[in-house]
Structure formats: C-alpha cells, structure tokens
Amino acid sequence: MRVTLALTAAPDIQSSPTDIVLVLNRSGSMAGTPFANLKLGAKTFIDIIDEATDSSQDGSIGSGSRIGIVSFAENAVANTQLITSVDTLKAAVDGLAAGGATNHAAAFSEAMDLFDPASPNAKVIVMFTDGKTTAGPPPAPVAAAARASGIVIYCIGPVGSDGVDPNTLNEWATDPDASHVAVTPDAADLEELFADLAVNISKPGATQIVIDEEVNRDFAIISVSPPDKGSAVTVDAHKLQWKIDALGVTGNEGAALEFFVRHTGDTGGTKFVNLDIKYSDAEGNAVTFPNPSVRVDCRAVVNPEKCPTPVDVTVGGCQDSVLVDLGDAYLESLGRIVQLDVTVKNVCPGKRVALAMILTEVDQNGMEYQRGMKAFTLPAHSFPTCRDVLVRCVKFVLPEDLDVSGKSPRSLCGKRNLKVRVIAHNIDTDYRCCEAVVTL
C-alpha cells in the first residue's frame, strides 16, 4: 500500500501581511556613491517584497502588505504613505537628493506615525543610514519606544563620507544584531544584503524541517521513494524520518514523500496507518497531518481436503509379492507441479550438505505467501577434489485455490508469480576444540 506525506509552505508575509517603512538617510554625509547605492538597494528591496507577497513581480505589493517611504536629513518627511504601487515607491526613492544634517530621532518618529495602530499587520522599519547623528535629540530612546510598541527595526549602514557606526546601529535595531544589522561597502554587496533582508522579513514558511513518521504496528515499511524535497531514511520497520532544509522561501511551495507499507497483522478490519507523526521546524510552526485508515480484508481461511480413507493391505508371511485392487481414485483439487533443479557448488569430499528450498507466491502488491519448504541431506562423496553436485527433481504442488498472483478467476491458464530461496551449508566441518598443554 502506498502512503503519501505532503506539505505546503509560503512566506509568512503572504499569510501574515506586513507594513514596512523604508527610512532613507538623505543627509550630506550620504552624498555621492553611498547615496546612489542606497537608492539602488532600496529599489531592489521593493522588487523582492513585491515578488515575496504574491510570487511575481507584477508591480504591486500583494497579500495585504504595504510599503511606505520616509526620508530624513535635518528633518524627516513621509515621501509616501503605506501603499502597494511599486512604481510610486521607486519614483519616491529616485526623487531624493542628499544634503544637510542628520536627525535620526525625527526619522524614527516620522516612520512610527505612518503605522496604523488599529491595523493587524506586522510592523517593520528598515533604516538605511551611516549611523552618525548630527542634529536633533538622541535617537536611541525613540528607537526603543518603537521596539516596545511591537515594531521590528532593521538597520543597514552603507559607508558614508563620515564613516559608519555599527555599534549605534546595533543599539537601535531589534535583537539579534546578526540578523537585523548589516554594513556594506559597495553596490553589489548592498543589493545582496537587501535581498537577504527581504527574505528575512518575509520569513520562509519553514526551515530545518524534521518529520518523524511511525506507522501502526500492524504495518511494516517496505520501501521509501526519494522525496521531491529533502531526504528521507527508514529508522526501522515501522519508522522513517524526513528532513527538509527550507520550504516556501520566496513563494508557495510544496513537497511530497511516498513510501510503501505492507499489512503484517493477523486480523482484518479498518485500521489506522499512522501510530504517531511528529513535525518540527526552526520557526516553531505547527502542522496537523490527517490520520488515514484502510480497510484490510484478510483472505479466507483455506481448509485442505481431508486425507482419503486408507485401504488396508496385508502382506502374508513368506509372501514376496502382493497384488491388491485399490478401487477408484478421484482428483481432489486442481494444482500444478513445480519441479526444481539446483547445483550446489564446490562440495568437498567427506562433507555432508544440508539443503533447503523455500517456495513462496507473490501477489500484485509484492506480498509473499508461503507455499512450501523442503529440506535434504546430501550424502558425502569420495571424489578426490571438491566438485559441483546436481540436485534434481525437487517437486512442489501448488493447488489452484491458493492462487494469489492475479485478478482473473483461478484456473490453470492463470500466471503464478513465485519466488524460490535456496539455503545450503556443510553439516560436517573441520572445527576441533584445541586442548592446550602448558609446561613450565
């Protein structure tokens, strides 16, 4: 029986809309290449959020999320409100010019004012600045107030003419600093950081996924197909583990794993396949899997025919032959005879060999049914060297009423699928216990 495990995941920004305010430093310290890099990176960020919210760069921020632009020098202004138009956002970025002092406190305050306290959307501030405050009150208390209100703050520091202050950015940003603060020296690095930042904000659906599946004890796992995502291994006959590094990073994404089980129980009826299934990931997501059941119909019990009534025969004393009419004999059940030959290789002189043949029949689902076993003792030979020994005419009878190979009505014209296993080993060995005598 085939069992399928399936998962789907999407960035949280699709299922949990987010309002993002880009806070851009347009002071004189950013003039020149840093400001050009800032604009390029900000527009890259907008494109990535555009795609993350609806799986395509269609010019509109989707799934209920919005982006707003705030720029600042000695004062801060809202260049846009929280909107969804990518073209309007990029135009606002392109229209900025660098010059003047740097007032970070005003920038944080203006960004906080853009958020609607009544909105259920998550709230994020992404500030691009060199971290050098030259005007206004200390910004740290304002940033702390923003964090206390539930706003997540990211800081990116492109190198400006006055340098960058990473310690200050760490103080303003949400912890941990490693994922909320970045400093970059050139345009190429800045674009890459913007891309990483956008993915971090959109939050992949799940990372470091581990699924532990345990099937009911009436079933055994017989094979596991390679999943389309991650890797899967069997732990034992009843357990497997499926691991996926990440799922749903930039958009909706699915993954599936197929494995096959065989019913090994002694009884039929409706049975649940799963005994237990556990899910975990780095984000702490919870997943509920269905609990499928299957109807197991065990084959009917076959009662073999009774032994025929014996005919009594008496051989008299001093009588070297006897002629008896046993009457009529009737064919009790149709069946087939399987006659097997096997060559036992390299049988050495003076060694008896134990030989066994095990015959099974295989149904369409790969399950095997016992059809017989025969065991023999091959007598030792006295040839001077080891030689091959041919064993001929080992016969098994297969009644047709035990046919499980096909769907067609049981008949001698149906195909029977069989497996034969041969076991052979020496009965006599050269092993002797060593009796050691130690003389001191």
Cis before 141? omega within 30:
no
- What pLDDT was estimated at residue 195? 67
For the four alpha carbons of 163, 166, 167 and 168, in that order, the dihedral sign comes to: positive
Beta bridge mates, 85: 60
Q: What is the pLDDT of residue 297?
A: 73
| Average pLDDT along the chain | 85
pLDDT above 50: residue 150: yes
Is residue 143 pLDDT above 90, yes or no? yes
Q: Flag the least confident range among 97-101, 163-167, 381-385, 392-396.
A: 163-167
Q: Report the distance separating Cα 127 and Cα 96, nearest Å.
A: 15
Residue 263 has which token pair? 């019913």
Query: What pLDDT is recorded for position 302?
Result: 47
Rounded mean pLDDT of 180-187? Answer: 75
Sequence-separated (6 or more) residues with CB below 8 Å from residue 277? 211, 212, 213, 214, 289
Q: What is the pLDDT of residue 203?
A: 64
> How much is the average pLDDT of 204-211?
84
pLDDT at position 106 is: 97
Task: State the average pLDDT over residues 328-337.
Answer: 71
Q: How many CB atoms lie within 10 A of CB 329?
A: 7
What are the residues whose beta carbons fall under 8 Å from the beta carbon of 23, sequence distance 6 or more?
70, 71, 72, 76, 107, 108, 110, 111, 125, 126, 127, 128, 129
What token pair was written down for 342? 């096997």
In this predicted structure, what is the pLDDT of residue 412?
62
Instruction: Give the whole-number percent of the chain exceeding pLDDT 70.
Output: 85
Rounded Cα gap, residues 280 and 20, in angstroms? 29
And the tokens for 62? 């989707």
Q: What is the pLDDT of residue 38?
A: 85
Burial profile 400-411: b = 16 or more Cβ within 10 angstroms, e = fewer: eebbbbeeeebe
pLDDT, greater one: 168 or 159: 168
pTM score, two decimals?
Answer: 0.49
- List of domains in the chain: 13-202 (3.40.50.410), 207-296 (2.60.40), 335-426 (2.60.40)
pLDDT digits (tens, 9 = 90+) for 248-306: 765 567 889 999 998 888 788 889 999 999 999 887 778 888 888 888 876 544 455 56
Take residue 207 and report the two structure tokens written for it. Answer: 């990372």
Residue 402 near residue 408, CB atoms below 8 Å: no
Report pLDDT for 437. Answer: 60
Report DSSP state, residue 425: E
Residue 40 has pLDDT above 60, yes or no: yes
Mean pLDDT is lowest, of 165-169, 263-267, 385-389, 433-437, for: 433-437
Residue 406: pLDDT above 80? Answer: no
pLDDT of 411 reads: 59
Residue 29: name the closest of 216, 179, 165 by CA: 165
Give the per-residue pLDDT at 243: 95
